[in-house]
């Protein structure tokens, strides 16, 4: 039966990260700061600024912020395009204010970095590059074109300093933008990967619940169906064989017998210890159950082995969806990259349980061997991508108490060793 698609639909990594409420709050802080700085310089320091033009520039920012706040709900998330428009306006508004107040001579010119940093943390890489280019162009223009600050004392900054300030601002803009974007991008990728792992685990829980639901349905329907079968057989014996209802009664008997067979198959389980079907399995059986789909024609052969390292009995494990899905991802990955054979060893001792998956494929690329388990890595020398498979497997298995090691053994191929303490994963009858 084809598995239904997951209801969880992951959004692109750069979709809707900038909250309207956050941007409005930041812009109000900027408006208040600009107004306070202009008034302080004009009233306290006595600088003769073009106060009317500066006030109109600040007022324009305040009006745009009010319009943005009242036209959209506060909890809304801005699209990438909307974020670019608002932040580009902020860069141009601040650049105009700096033009009126000394250009790069103004110590507050460093604030041009702020919109770019916000874009790097919340918008796409293309939008960040666009806004960084706008900020750099504004810095270059302000270095050449600006109104001089009317210093209270005779003071003239050399051209070399102004050029150096413009270059420093440009470098700071690029560095902060790249650094903030790198951190935010890594966080977005990790967030999406964890969401995918959560979706995979939810799918396994649904599949596991279906088995329990089937067993419960078989149990609940068994009694009334048995009554129907008894009555149908009594009617068959009592009714004349050549009567008008004989054919209908025979059909009723055959269909009730068929229903009973179906319910018996649904209720089948390897052990009659109560609980959901296949609730507990020997470790080697659980490993086999992690890869239920038959191998496509031409795929590598999967060889399963079980071995006791001492006289201890084989551990019995709960049929945990997280463990099944984690092992299944690693087994499928090994089968995909193997040339002819995959060996899966389940070993146990009194203290430890281990599963080793070894294939005869190209092995892991040495340059990423130490990073395996991180999302979005290229996985083998032959190319291709693991996507989220190994990340999801590692995350789910580590949550069950496992330790994973990836290696390229001397004989060739790739090897994954998974180890648990028996006390962490084994289940016992009460």
**pLDDT number for residue 134:** 92
**pLDDT number for residue 11:** 39
* Burial profile 68-96: b = 16 or more Cβ within 10 angstroms, e = fewer: bbeeeeeeebbebebbbebbbbbbbbbbb
**pLDDT number for residue 154:** 59
Whether 347 shows a pLDDT value over 90: the answer reads yes
Mean pLDDT for the stretch of residues 235-264 = 78
Which tens digits make up the pLDDT trace of 323-337?
Answer: 888 898 899 888 888
User: Distance between CA 240 and CA 251 in Å, rounded?
Assistant: 15
Whether 299 shows a pLDDT value over 60: the answer reads yes
Of 200 and 94, more confident = 94
Residues contacting 277, CB < 8 A, separation 6+: 211, 212, 214, 215, 267, 268, 269
The closest of 357, 304, 355, 354 to 333, measured between CA atoms, is 357
How many percent of the chain have pLDDT more than 90? 17
**pLDDT number for residue 88:** 92
Whether 124 shows a pLDDT value over 90: the answer reads no
**pLDDT number for residue 12:** 43
Whether 379 shows a pLDDT value over 80: the answer reads no
Q: How many CA atoms lie less than 13 Å away from 265 in the CB half-sphere?
A: 5
Q: Which of 115-119, 241-245, 299-303, 383-387 has the lowest mean pLDDT?
A: 383-387
Whether 43 shows a pLDDT value over 50: the answer reads yes
Q: Where in the chain is the domain with CATH 3.30.565.10?
A: 280-425
Mean pLDDT for the stretch of residues 367-378 = 71
* Nearest-5° Cα angle at 6, 5 to 11: 120
Mean pLDDT for the stretch of residues 161-183 = 74
Mean pLDDT for the stretch of residues 166-182 = 75
| Residue 359 banded pLDDT, cuts 50, 70, 90 | very high
Whether 412 shows a pLDDT value over 50: the answer reads yes
Which tens digits make up the pLDDT trace of 56-100?
Answer: 999 999 999 899 888 887 777 788 888 899 999 999 999 999 899
Residues, the chain, total? 430
**pLDDT number for residue 429:** 59
Of the spans 95-104, 346-355, 364-373, which averages the highest pLDDT?
A: 346-355
Of 384 and 189, more confident = 189
Whether 271 shows a pLDDT value over 60: the answer reads no
Which tens digits make up the pLDDT trace of 218-234?
Answer: 666 777 777 887 887 87
**pLDDT number for residue 228:** 81
Whether 270 shows a pLDDT value over 50: the answer reads no
User: Distance between CA 320 and CA 298 in Å, rounded?
Assistant: 31
Of the spans 19-28, 274-283, 375-384, which averages the highest pLDDT?
A: 19-28
107, with CB counted inside 10 A (0-12, 13-18, 19+), is exposed
280-425 under CATH 3.30.565.10, yes or no: yes
Of 236 and 1, more confident = 236
Which tens digits make up the pLDDT trace of 86-98?
Answer: 999 999 999 999 8
């Amino acid at each position: 039966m084809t598995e239904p698609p997951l209801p969880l639909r992951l959004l692109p990594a750069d979709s809707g990260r900038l909250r309207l409420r956050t941007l409005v709050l930041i812009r109000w802080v900027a408006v208040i700061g600009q107004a306070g700085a202009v008034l302080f310089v004009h009233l306290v320091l006595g600088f003769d600024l073009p106060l009317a033009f500066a006030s109109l520039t600040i007022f324009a920012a305040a009006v745009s912020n009010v319009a943005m706040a009242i036209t959209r709900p506060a909890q809304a998330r801005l699209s990438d395009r909307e974020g670019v428009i608002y932040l580009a306006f902020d860069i141009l508004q601040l650049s105009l204010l700096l033009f009126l107040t000394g250009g790069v001579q103004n110590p507050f010119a460093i604030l041009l970095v702020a919109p770019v940093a916000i874009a790097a943390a919340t918008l796409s890489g293309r939008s960040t590059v666009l806004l960084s280019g706008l900020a750099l162009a504004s810095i270059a223009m302000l270095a050449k074109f600006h109104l001089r600050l009317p210093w209270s004392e005779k003071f003239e900054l050399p051209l070399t300093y102004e050029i150096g300030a413009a270059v420093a601002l440009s470098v700071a803009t690029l560095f902060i933008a790249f650094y903030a974007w790198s951190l935010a991008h890594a966080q977005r990728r990790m967030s999406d990967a964890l969401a995918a792992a959560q979706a995979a685990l939810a799918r396994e829980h649904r599949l596991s619940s279906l088995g329990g639901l089937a067993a419960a349905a078989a149990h609940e329907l068994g009694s009334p169906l048995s009554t129907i079968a008894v009555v149908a057989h009594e009617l068959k014996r009592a009714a004349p064989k050549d009567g008008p209802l004989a054919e209908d009664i025979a059909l009723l008997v055959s269909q009730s017998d068929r229903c009973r067979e179906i319910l018996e198959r649904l209720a089948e389980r390897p052990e009659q210890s109560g609980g959901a079907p296949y609730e507990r399995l020997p470790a080697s059986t659980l490993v086999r159950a992690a890869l239920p789909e038959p191998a496509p024609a031409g795929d590598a052969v999967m060889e399963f082995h079980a071995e006791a390292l001492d006289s201890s009995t084989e551990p019995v494990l709960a049929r945990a969806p997280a463990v099944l899905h984690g092992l299944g991802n690693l087994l499928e990955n090994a089968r995909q990259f193997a040339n002819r054979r995959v060996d899966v060893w389940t070993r146990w001792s009194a203290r430890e349980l281990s599963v080793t998956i070894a294939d005869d494929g190209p092995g892991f690329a040495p340059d990423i061997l130490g990073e395996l388990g991180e999302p979005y890595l290229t996985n083998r020398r032959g190319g291709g991508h693991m996507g989220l498979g190994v990340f999801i497997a590692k995350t789910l298995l580590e949550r069950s108490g496992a330790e994973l090691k990836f290696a390229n053994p001397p004989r060739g191929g790739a090897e994954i060793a998974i180890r648990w303490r028996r006390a962490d994963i084994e289940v016992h009858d009460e």
